[in-house]
Structure 1
Amino acid sequence: MQLDNKAIIKIKNLRLRTYIGINEDEVNNKQDIIINAQIHYCAQDAVSTDDMNNAVNYRTITKKIITLVEQQRFSLLEKLTADVLGIVSEHASVSFAQVEVDKPYALRFADSVSLTLSLAK
């Protein structure tokens, strides 16, 4: 049996806190955000060698996302989402990446507001 070894890594519901928004309350207080990411890549080398150096390391990616979110301030979901997308797509073997960032309770009668960005290489 021949496998195509196309892998999809999914980081689901990464819950973090950051400064996001333009209103005074948002500028002065951290808010919850939820990040979901998909990373598509060819895992042929990782599958055939069982060597971490040939794989996309989701732990390293997640640590970079956490550092970004915790150390910066953002006015717009667009900027935050684009910066996270830059991190998840930086590995050379990534062929497609998508990031969705949710901002819970951003609107009075909604569970959250979210923004999704994607990148195909």
Structure 2
Amino acid sequence: MSLTTGAYSNAIINVTNLRLRTFIGFNPDEREKQQDVVINIEIHYPADKSFQTDNVADALNYKVITKKVIQHVEEGRFLLLEKLVADVVDICSEHPSVTLAKVTIDKPHALRFADSVSLSLEHRR
């Protein structure tokens, strides 16, 4: 049985370990030099039309979304991880066909004895 004749309709796009640098934090040293962040994105959308037509215009363009995320993160300054994560969720939810966007951002080396600190948020439509 082909996917185009089955009952499949939801697609999940995962962007895994997008590594960027930004100004994040409220301590003086954090406000003066960029830090690494690691972003993981999960986006759900109905893909029934795209896999039936095999037309790019019918699919959600993850490259466009990722470019917006990169620009926003690299050009921004954030005091709180919560603000950064919320902004990225908003970017990932802009397209009207997105039914769920979940974002987790890790801030490596934020705590002395931990690999990273992370925060996750999601938006459902």
Alignment-derived partner of residue 9 in structure 1: 13
Letter in 1 for 2:83: K
Establish whether residue 28 from structure 1 lines up as the match of residue 32 from structure 2: yes
Q: Which stretches in structure 1 are left out of the alignment for 5+ residues?
A: none
Partner of 1:22, secondary structure, is coil
Give the ranges of 4+ consecutive aligned residues of structure 1 lying more than 4 Å apart after TM superposition: none
**Deviations 1:1-24 (CA, angstroms, capped at 9, x unpaired):** 413221000000000000000000
Q: Distance in 2 between matches of 1:26 and 1:106?
A: 10
Aligned length: 121
**Deviations 1:25-46 (CA, angstroms, capped at 9, x unpaired):** 0000000000000000100111
Partner of 2:84, secondary structure, is helix
Q: Distance in 1 between matches of 2:17 and 2:26?
A: 24
Larger mean CA deviation between 52-61 and 23-32 belongs to 52-61
Q: Distance in 2 between matches of 1:5 and 1:47?
A: 9
- Counting only pairs closer than 5 Å after superposition, residues 91-110 of structure 1 correspond to structure 2 as 91-110=95-114
Q: CA deviation at 1:89?
A: 1.0
Q: Which stretches in structure 2 are left out of the alignment for 5+ residues?
A: none
Letter in 2 for 1:83: D
Establish whether residue 45 from structure 1 lines up as the match of residue 60 from structure 2: no
**Deviations 1:32-77 (CA, angstroms, capped at 9, x unpaired):** 0000000001001111111111111011111000000111100000
Establish whether residue 55 from structure 1 lines up as the match of residue 54 from structure 2: no
Alignment-derived partner of residue 75 in structure 2: 71
Using structure 1 for the length normalisation, give the TM-score: 0.97
Partner of 1:94, secondary structure, is coil
**Cα RMSD (Å):** 0.7
Partner of 1:117, secondary structure, is strand
